[in-house]
Amino acid sequence: MDIRSLAIHGGANGDPYTGAVTVPIYQTSTYAQKSIGQHKGFEYSRTGNPTREVLEKLIAELEEGYRGFAFGSGMAAISSVLMLLKSGDHILVSDDVYGGTFRVIDKVFKNFDLEYDFINTSDIAKVRDSIKDNTKMIYIETPTNPLMKLTSIHAIAEIAKEKGILTVVDNTFATPYLQRPITQGADIVLHSATKYLGGHSDLVAGLVVVNNEELGNRMHFIQNAVGAILGPFDSWLLIKGIRTLPIRMDRHCENAEQIVSWLSKQSWVKKIYYPGYNDSQDVLSSQMSKAGGMISFEVDSEATVEKVLSNLKVITLAESLGGIESLISVPAKMTHASIPEEIREKIGITNRLIRLSVGIEYVEDIIKDLDISLK
């Protein structure tokens, strides 16, 4: 089934008990048992819930993986994946990574003796040279947040498999509609489902998909043991969001391409970060169907940043991304403020960098908001 149909019909078609077309919200904590251990597949909603199960099956099908898991946030999903590691293990992480990911590794997991290096994972030779005897995971974002760098998932997975290392891909920006990392060789794919998958800025959630039974059993143990699960109502909302993912992503991408073209003609825009725009066109064409709806661009001064932000009528100044509405932010002062300034400056996350999550509004209205010449 094509992914445009699978997004609508995957997971489950309605409710087998009542015939309801929409999956119900099973707002319950526990389930009656006929006798000890005899039940209808559910015992306690931390371990499993019918609404959450439909969502987990849906994301596994969309990502072409073995098993899916739904968590209370993207960071809960990331943290649970990192719990696959043990004290003394080493992880390689994309240097241009979401600030929350940097923070949880650098401020939390290092307290449990997890070793880590943040490197440019787009440089395959650098990745190979950075692997240590105790390296157990390579964690990549592609496209990265916020500089939109692309990493060849296939190339990373090949290196990792040679060494018995897990490949983990944060697929939040691309979504399974544009990119399916497991088909490229990744072991685990994860999402901040708060973003494009939910799509309406009305929930916080995280999703994980694994590629085999052994990883599935380990992730389920962690999910159940830690309990960072997604509740049934948010699971239901997320299913509804995913049902419209393909049509939304088509508009996000279409609008973004037009905005990139317009930005490229503005004298105050000094650099544009958009997948495949400056380089890595070969990586883009090999693993993504389109470049997505996220754009970052560096302007000529911090005064210009303020001028852009003060001109907004359609675009909203806010953290997060991937909603139907356009959202704008300054990563160095917002989403990536937890990364030390010297590291931000070194990799290019300056105070002059603006990140735009392109919504599905009429594109000319978005461009008018960005056009400082209209002030």
- Which residues are the active-site residues? 46, 98, 170, 195
* First and final C-alpha spacing in the chain: 49
Q: Which residue has the tokens 């997505």?
A: 292
Mention every residue, 6+ apart, whose C-beta is less than 8 A from residue 79. 104, 108, 109, 228
| Cβ count within 10 A of residue 155 | 18
Q: Which amino acid is at 362?
A: Y
CA dihedral for 97, 168, 126, 183, sign (positive or negative)? negative
Q: Which residue has the tokens 């099908």?
A: 61
Beta bridge partner(s), residue 164: none
Q: How far apart are CA 361 and CA 366, in angstroms?
A: 7
Whether 69 contacts 221, CB under 8 Å? no
Whether 151 contacts 140, CB under 8 Å? yes
Query: 348 to each of 15, 114, 175, how far by Cα in Å?
Result: 49, 26, 25
Whether 305 contacts 315, CB under 8 Å? no
Beta bridge partner(s), residue 355: 296, 329
Whether 294 contacts 148, CB under 8 Å? yes
Tokens, residue 132:
């240590």
Question: Which helix (DSSP H) or strand (DSSP E) does residue 298 occupy?
Answer: strand 294-299
**DSSP annotation string for 16-41:** TTT--SSPP----SB---SBTTB-SS
Q: Which amino acid is at 298?
A: E
**DSSP annotation string for 195-222:** TTTT-SS----EEEEESSHHHHHHHHHH
Secondary structure (3-state) at 1: coil
CA nearest neighbour of 359 among 236, 218, 258, 226: 258
